[in-house]
Amino acid sequence: MPQGLSAFMQDATIVSSMVPSAVLVLAVGVFVAAGVYLILERSLTRVLLGFVLIGNGVNIMLLLAGGQAGVAPIIGTDNGESMSDPLAQAMMLTSIVITLAMVAFLSAMAYRSWQLYGHDEVQDDIEDARVARHAHRGEAAYTDLDAMDLAWTLDDEAAEVHDDYDIDDGAAAEASPVVAVASPAAPPAARFGASRQGGQQ
């Protein structure tokens, strides 16, 4: 027993023992253990059952936090010495109500999942798997036109922009490195032409 705690207990207004019932402590352990096992399953229905079990376990923990059971905490029934802790019970009730609402929502979601997919399994992150596959193949996360090796230099592009490059001259075009560009990168003229056109539509 921690020193501070025992000192605190001496000031406590109600002289009920802090030693909780062993059966309840055991029940908390069993509930939470079984609940954790179920919540690790894929099926939402089992997760739901696991949540219910852990929820019950934690609710009993709240009850245990109130100390040993006593008479009903109503003024006049007792001089206050053997009353049970009403606050722990109030909190337990609140959390039972919250748990109930969550169970309702979770079962609705499991049902909807069954409607849509024919099963109620919690699925992996699809997007994550796709990004991971990209990485595994050593591909870039996304195509980047700027970063591609386009085999034409900035000088060519500058010439293109200033219109002093005779694109219609077949011989010049053949001699220029633009022809060597491999798909998917189009020659600069085609690229810019297409997008400019697109921009005007």
Q: What is the DSSP string of 65-89?
A: HT-S--B---BTTB-SSSB--HHHH
Tell me which DSSP letter residue 176 carries: S
In the region spanning residues 152 to 181, those forming contacts with other proteins, defined by CB under 8 A, are: none
Q: Is 83 a residue that touches other proteins (CB under 8 A)?
A: yes
Binding segment for other proteins (CB under 8 A), chosen from 148-156, 165-173, 174-182, 191-199, is 191-199
Looking at the Cβ atoms of 171 and 182, the one nearer to other proteins is: 182
In the region spanning residues 52 to 81, those forming contacts with other proteins, defined by CB under 8 A, are: 54-55, 58, 61-62, 64-67, 73, 75, 80
Q: Which residues pair with 78 in a beta bridge?
A: 75
| 87/21 Cα distance (integer angstroms) | 18
In this structure, how many other beta carbons lie within 10 angstroms of the beta carbon of residue 57?
19
Q: Is 125 a residue that touches other proteins (CB under 8 A)?
A: yes
In the region spanning residues 14 to 53, those forming contacts with other proteins, defined by CB under 8 A, are: 14, 16, 18, 39, 44, 47, 51
In this structure, how many other beta carbons lie within 10 angstroms of the beta carbon of residue 79?
7
Q: Is 183 a residue that touches other proteins (CB under 8 A)?
A: no
In this structure, how many other beta carbons lie within 10 angstroms of the beta carbon of residue 95?
15
CB of 175 to other proteins, least distance (A): 26
Residue from 127, 163, 168, 174 binding other proteins (CB under 8 A): 127
Burial bucket for residue 54 (CB in 10 Å: 0-12, 13-18, 19+): buried
CB of 172 to other proteins, least distance (A): 25
CB of 138 to other proteins, least distance (A): 13
Per the document, the length of the chain is 201
Looking at the Cβ atoms of 102 and 167, the one nearer to other proteins is: 102
Of 127, 180, 173, 122, the C-alpha closest to 150 is: 180
CB of 115 to other proteins, least distance (A): 8
CA–chain centroid gap for 97, Å, is 24
Looking at the Cβ atoms of 67 and 176, the one nearer to other proteins is: 67
